[in-house]
Structure 1
Amino acid sequence: MKRYNNSHFTLRIGIVLSILFVGMLVLFIENNVVDVVFSPKKELPIYSVDRDDKKIAISFDAAWGNEFTGDILDTLDKYNIKSTFFLVGFWVDKYPEDVKEIVSRGHEIGNHSTNHPDMTKLSKEQMTSELTTTEEKIFKLTSTKPILFRPPFGAYNDSVIQVARELGYFPIQWDIDSLDWKELGVEPVIDRVVKNVRSGSIVLFHNNAKYIKEYLPIVIERVQAKGFEIVPISELIYRDNFEMDNTGRQIYLK
């Protein structure tokens, strides 16, 4: 009878265990690959729009104060530009006449929540309340239901985007942050916007930024000098028959 010593036995066991380990590793990798391939695609808001007609949009978030709102509207009138204002519910409550004036001047209003929270930390019921409460406030003053929603702080996850879409909104982000809220001066804002603008861009400004009276006319003139037409966001985006790439750029399906 053939006998095995301890070293041979240990070697055999080691080989068997190695084969089992490799087999399990392969299965694990394959399963993960399958999960990656078939996992749901991350939900994204619209950061920009794939267009070749040199149209862009500038937008203003309004949450804190209204000191410069009239100046913004006058500047937009001067250059015959229509824009988009994203309003927070408590701003609507505090400045109802400004809300009416924005609409009377031909600009559109977007929903920017009711209390300016980090929406990703809310339940779906709370998210819904944030949108519908401000929607009702805006409708009461303007007889118009907003169709654009911008999450406060630009914070979102799949649930935020899904809830917004279920309520009939197009979630909107931006591809150019002017960083006007940092109050670094006039030139930094101008340089940042003008150097980075491209067809389909959405630019973020704030209605109460410190230097907006100075930089807004210059930005408009320089952007127009580059051949861009400024339109409201609702005219820039595609309403249907589109897909989103992984950067949040909206692409029309021809």
Structure 2
Amino acid sequence: MRIWIINRRLVLSTIFILLFVGVSFFYLGDFGEMIVGVMNRDKALPIYCVDTEEKKIAISFDAAWGDQYTDGILDILDKYNVKTTFFLVGFWVDKYPDMVKKIHEKGHDIGNHSSTHPHMSKLSVEQISKELNETGEKIEKITAKKPILFRPPFGDYNNQLIDTAKENGYYTIQWDVDSLDWKELGVQPVVDRVTRNVKNGSIVLFHNNAKYVLEYLPLVIERLQKEGYEIVPISELIIKKDFYIDHTGMQKPKKENE
């Protein structure tokens, strides 16, 4: 009878775990798939953060929908003498070319965020290249500088996407601190979430059209600077040569014997 009870408990525990995992993936959606991607050691990974002893981090803004807060963001960044990275979608570039030029002239990185904002893991190599090249050419035409940073829409990627981006001259960039500003939970939740989770080498995700961005951004910058962090563009944070990306998505310098 005891053996039957133990086995029964084991079966019930297994069922509970399977149900929990299934429900979690149902609600997590793309983010759940992203977590599994990072944990899968056989999967090519983008750069989520950088291994550095320096107190340097990068903050970034994805720009796909709207422009009403972008001027205000640039004014705040000027006030605190901070340079960041903006990832732009092709149709956003088409709609706001003067803003693209302004972002560039103020010294911020401009990265590629695709042409039409699709789930790029579902595209062919040819379609991926088209998404990258169309937007890259638009950005270069305005700024006279080809972008080298690429962020996949929705954080959605696979080996083919990362390999194709690399072949087209791009470092694929994710983030290790998600502000969740798109959830519109208010100012303080964003400030707390970001400042509590950053570490040396972190990459923070914001959105240029988030509802409270003009309120939370100065508070985040002030707190990070007070804690001794230097905020730099992603192009200055990442390692350009002789690196590898570990199973957590952290970019690390290669050692001489590797």
Fold shared per TM-score above 0.5: yes
Structure 1 residue 41, shift from structure 2 partner = 3.1
Q: Which runs of 5+ in 2 are unaligned?
A: 1-40
1:249 aligns with 2:250: yes
The alignment status of 1:86 with 2:66, answered yes or no, reads no
Larger deviation, residues 244-253 vs 84-93? 244-253
For the residues of structure 1 that align with 2:194 and 2:184, how far apart are their CA atoms?
15
SS at structure 1 position matched to 2:191: helix
Any stretches of 5+ residues in structure 1 without a counterpart? 1-39
Task: Name the CA distance, whole Å, in 1 between partners of 2:42 and 2:169.
Answer: 20
Structure 2 counterpart of 1:58: 59
Q: Tell me the residue number matched to 1:120.
A: 121
Offset from partner CA, 1:119-138 (integer Å, 9 cap, x none) = 01111100000000000100
State the partner residue of 2:238.
237
| Residue pairs, 1:1-254, within 5 angstroms | 41-254=42-255
> 1:31 aligns to what?
none
**For the residues of structure 2 that align with 1:54 and 1:244, how far apart are their CA atoms?**
20
State the shift of 1:42 in Å. 1.4
> Aligned partners of 2:134, 2:42: CA distance in 1, in Å?
29
SS at match of 1:125: helix
Distance in 2 between the 1:162 and 1:120 partners?
A: 11
Write the letter of the residue equivalent to 2:230: E
In 1, the alpha carbon distance for the partners of 2:176 and 2:162 equals 17
Q: Which amino acid aligns with 2:201?
A: G
The AA in structure 1 aligned to 2:46 is: P
Task: Report how many residues are paired.
Answer: 216
Could you list the per-position Cα deviations for residues 165-221 of structure 1 after superposition, in whole angstroms to 9, with x for gaps in the alignment? 010100000000000000000011000000001000000000000000000000000
Q: Which runs of 4+ in 1 moved over 2 A?
A: none
- Structure 2 distance, partners of 1:159, 1:242, is 20
Q: Which amino acid aligns with 2:101?
A: K
CA deviation string 1:105-145 (max 9, x = no partner): 11110000000000011111000000000001001111000
Alpha-carbon separation, structure 1, partners of 2:60 and 2:156:
17
Alignment deviations for residues 50-106 of structure 1 (CA, whole Å, 9 cap, x no partner):
001110000000000000000000000000011100000000000000000001111
Give the whole-Å Cα distance in 1 for the aligned partners of 2:92 and 2:243: 33
Deviation at 1:253, TM superposition (A): 2.0
- How big is each residue's C-alpha offset from its partner over 1:18-59, in whole Å with a ceiling of 9 and x where there is no partner? xxxxxxxxxxxxxxxxxxxxxx93100000000011100000
Letter in 1 for 2:217: L
Secondary structure of the residue aligned to 1:116 is coil
Instruction: Provide TM-score, normalisation by structure 2.
Output: 0.83
SS in 2 for 1:164: helix
Amino acid at match of 2:192: D
The alignment-based identity, stated in percent, is 67
- AA partner of residue 46 (structure 1): I
